[in-house]
Chain A
């Protein structure tokens, strides 16, 4: 049965999805063509917001992990697991869009560049988190172990962010947050900022929705176990 709360959640999701689609339209029709890269640069409007959402997910994972250690509750663990899933989704999306952009620009689908490699490591860490969750029996040990890993994953994110300035890399250096201001045209910059905000909000909604599903699954599993016992 669909409750009023479920309906509100779904409406909110639909609105956010409409905003995502609206942003894509802005990326195609509002943002001008790049004078150096032509049309191919437009994939950046999906690539950069995905990367930001993937990094923001690792920060959220650390917050939920600290909460998990403090409260020792399955609720924080469900939120953390949902965050890892959403983080993995957006990291894979970042790698895929980067690869599609790299083919015409660098002439290759993949190179062992510092930023690409470290982002790939972030995807592996999210996978590791989900595997650890799956490999441990439910209970306080799982809450603690997953929380510890969540905090460790966050410690690696500064490396990924700074990799383009520390290593000689094919990936372009930061063009938004740099000394002397952004190098982008205002239309491109604002479309990009809008995309980041919308995708982060959509990611937050996905985390909330998915964590409710995880909790519901746990409740159902516990109920069916109780039924088997009686």
Chain B
């Protein structure tokens, strides 16, 4: 199975991607630092809040910060490929385009997890209260589900805007509206869970929506990425 051309391409592209990321560690560290700084700013700006508001503030801060930090990760995904025209050369090579998408998607998931983990932990820490613990593995799971959808969108938009002028402006303009359904479902399900402490029918409904968008974005990502990089 692992020796088929598809998996060989996938493995090579993932290892090439990891090496490119490790060669420039600043790319990995800067979104995390950005997230931590933003959370600190939120904490200073908002100050102490009533217990009833704490969950809302915690989730709003966390998911917004994660969204901005992940956008930094996603928008620079093809930066190493732009050097020495690697991207254009790759398009002409007989590389399986779905394997290429999956390799980039895996890389984004790994980089996104490296950003999301510290963001969730630090946000729970700065908003903590002895009577109301905020860190929850269910919220971590919801954030991971959100990352699965956002990462597919990130790969697709990065490839889409690669040749566009004013990419830095265009990318967030497209990314934020398209990310909104995922973000809304993640925030609502987390909020309902933290409020009740149980996975109720409402939580499940929102998780269903989140899963639905994950499936839509991953499927469209795999199908449309091939169209985007097709040389013909």
Contact = CB atoms under 8 A, between A and B. Distances in A.
B29 to A, nearest CB: 30
B177 A156 contact: yes
B173 A128 contact: yes
Interface in A55-78: 69, 72
A159 interface: yes
Contacts, number: 68
Interface residues of B, number: 26
Contacts of A128: 170, 173-174, 177
Interface in B212-232: 216-217, 220, 224, 227-228, 230, 232
B151 interface: no
Given A145-B163, A147-B227, A132 B170 contact: yes
- Secondary structure type dominating chain B contacts: helix
B228 A144 contact: yes
Contacts of A69: 227
B163 A127 contact: no
Contacts of B180: 118, 121, 156
20 contacts: A122-B177, A124-B173, A124-B176, A128-B170, A128-B173, A128-B174, A132-B161, A135-B161, A135-B167, A136-B164, A144-B227, A147-B227, A148-B224, A148-B227, A151-B224, A152-B153, A152-B156, A152-B220, A155-B216, A166-B209
Given A132-B161, A148-B228, A152-B220, 4 more contacts: A125-B174, A128-B170, A136-B165, A156-B177
Interface of B: 153, 156, 160-161, 163-167, 170, 173-174, 176-178, 180-181, 209, 216-217, 220, 224, 227-228, 230, 232
